[in-house]
Structures are given as structure tokens and as C-alpha cells.
Amino acid sequence: MSTVYKKFTLGDKLTPEQHNFFNEHGFIHFKKFINPETVQSITRASEQVQEQWIKNEVTKVNGVPIKYGKDLNGDTIVQRFAFINQHHPVFSEFIQDPRFNTLLDIIGSEARFGTDEKDGMVLNHYVNSEQSNFTKMGWHTDGLRDIFHGQKLNPMLNVGIHLSTLKPENGGLRILPGTHKQGLYQMLFKKKYFLDHDADENELAITPEAGDLTIHDGRLWHRVAQSSVIGEASRRRVIYVPIIAGKYAPKDANSPTVFYQKFAGLVK
Ligand SMILES: O=C(O)CCC(=O)C(=O)O
Ligand SMILES: [Fe+2]
């Protein structure tokens, strides 16, 4: 496992070097996209949404199942929120930050943030304990769902806003750089989707500080490694919001639950 890679700072526009890095490796990491106060306010907002959803026994949002689990103290928590941007102004205002628009350039003028499509803005909350329901995620690509939908593979990127500072021993995102250039066969069969949790000799550990932003290509193979420590040091929160192109396909309260989302319930 390697942890060494170049990290960038986001300016008004992506530089040619940043474009080239992303095109070559299928990911890019920007330091300090938001400051610690913003991280705090986002985390607090997620706790408010969590309180509402527990009170109202929300099991799905726009057809997407919500993952619940237990915190270290045994309290019920939400471990995977979907469409969180539709449930608190802190999130809907956050995505209006004009710097997000500069990121759309990576796939071109047709691109948009999928705040009302797919799973919307997702917030994952991992914690490693016996009672936790979310400690890791097996190898996958994010683009497979489009194949399930019988659509042609539209460009899709996932933008991550990292709310926890991680060392490699805290687990977290592991990627296989360059796999966004593989053919369809490799995208389908390189690894067993979600079941394979084994470290890969070529994997890179993404090691963010709280407030950093990453982008990965929808065709890139990645997983979330379980923390090798337990308890508070294993707590990890990260937001994802997709950049997509192709036909606008908003979801609403009547949207069906699709097959892969049922499967995602098996992921612990
Ligand atoms: O939690 C992460 O960093 C990655 C999660 C992920 O890959 C996903 O939700 O598709
Ligand atoms: Fe993913």
C-alpha cells in the first residue's frame, strides 16, 4: 500500500497540471477546501438531520435506503445519509459555493452536480466497533450502477469532502490509480463487487485532513478499508456528491429502490 501522491490546492480554475493529473490517474486530491469551522458546522447539521430521521423513522429517501447503526455509546445513528442536501440548509447552501462549479470543467460544459439525482449528496459515517453497522466497503466502481440501469456509461465523477483527518491505520478510501482507463470487462470483473475486501498491492491510501476534497472517476476501482484501531479514533465522516452528464433524471419520494441499493444493505 502506498500513501505517497501529489496533493494540490484549488484555485479559481483547474490548472493544466491538475487536469493532466486527473486524466492520467483518475483521481485528484485538493488540500483545505473548507476550514475547520465549516467542517464543524456541517457535522453538526448532519446530527440535526439524524435526529429528525430517527424521530420520524425515515427508512428511505427518494427510494434510497438509509443505513442505521449504533454509535460507540450504543446510541442509534445514521451511518449513510442520501439526499442530505434536501434536508438541511447547511448542505444545500454549501453546494452553492462557486468553487464547486470550477470542478465541473473536469468533464466539460454539459456536466452538473447530481444533487437531485442518483443518491444526491451522500454522507457516510463510519465507526469501528462491535455494534457499528458500517466499518468498511468492498471493492467497486461507482459507475456500475449506470450499467445496471441499461444506460450507456455516461461520464460520472464522485467529489468527496472529507470531514475527518485520517492516517492509513484509520482505514478509509483505497483506490487503484489508472483503472478508469480499463475496458468494460475489467470494470465488470476485475474484482468481486463489494464482496472483496482484500488489500491490493497497487492500492493507494487516500490520507485526507478534515476539510480536504477529492475527486475520483466513476470507473475507478476503490474500496473503504476498515480502521485497524477501534473506538473514537476510527470515526470517519465523508460527503460525496456526483458530477454527472447525460439525461437529467431527478428522483422523488415515489422513486423505486433499485437492485444494487438492496445489495448495499449487505455491506457492513
Ligand atoms: O466512504 C468513502 O470514502 C467511499 C464510499 C464509496 O465508495 C461509495 O459510497 O461509493
Ligand atoms: Fe464508491
Domains and CATH numbers, the chain: 18-57+66-245 (2.60.120.620)
Number of neighbours of residue 55 by Cβ within 10 angstroms: 8
> Residue 261's pLDDT is what?
67
Distance CA 240, CA 218 (A): 12
C-alpha 244 to ligand 2 mean position (Å): 14
Distance CA 237, CA 93 (A): 19
Number of neighbours of residue 27 by Cβ within 10 angstroms: 25
Query: CB-side exposure of 205: number of CA atoms within 13 Å?
Result: 19
Residue 240 CA: nearest ligand 1 atom is 9
Pocket test residue of 137, 166, 196, 216 for ligand 1, highest count of atoms within 8 A of CB? 137
The residue written with cell numbers 422523488 in the block is: 252
Would the CB of 222 count as within 6 Å of ligand 1? yes
Number of neighbours of residue 262 by Cβ within 10 angstroms: 10
Tens digit of each residue's pLDDT, the chain (268 residues): 888 999 999 999 999 999 999 999 999 999 999 999 999 999 999 999 999 999 999 999 999 999 999 999 999 999 999 999 999 999 999 999 999 999 998 887 789 999 999 999 999 999 999 889 999 999 999 988 776 666 666 789 999 999 999 999 999 999 999 999 999 899 999 999 999 999 999 999 999 999 999 999 999 999 999 999 999 999 999 999 999 998 899 999 999 987 666 665 555 5
For residues 179 and 220, is the Cβ–Cβ distance under 8 A?
Answer: yes
> Residue 3's pLDDT is what?
87
Distance CA 116, CA 33 (A): 23
Would the CB of 238 count as within 6 Å of ligand 1? yes
pTM, full prediction: 0.94
Would the CB of 206 count as within 6 Å of ligand 1? no
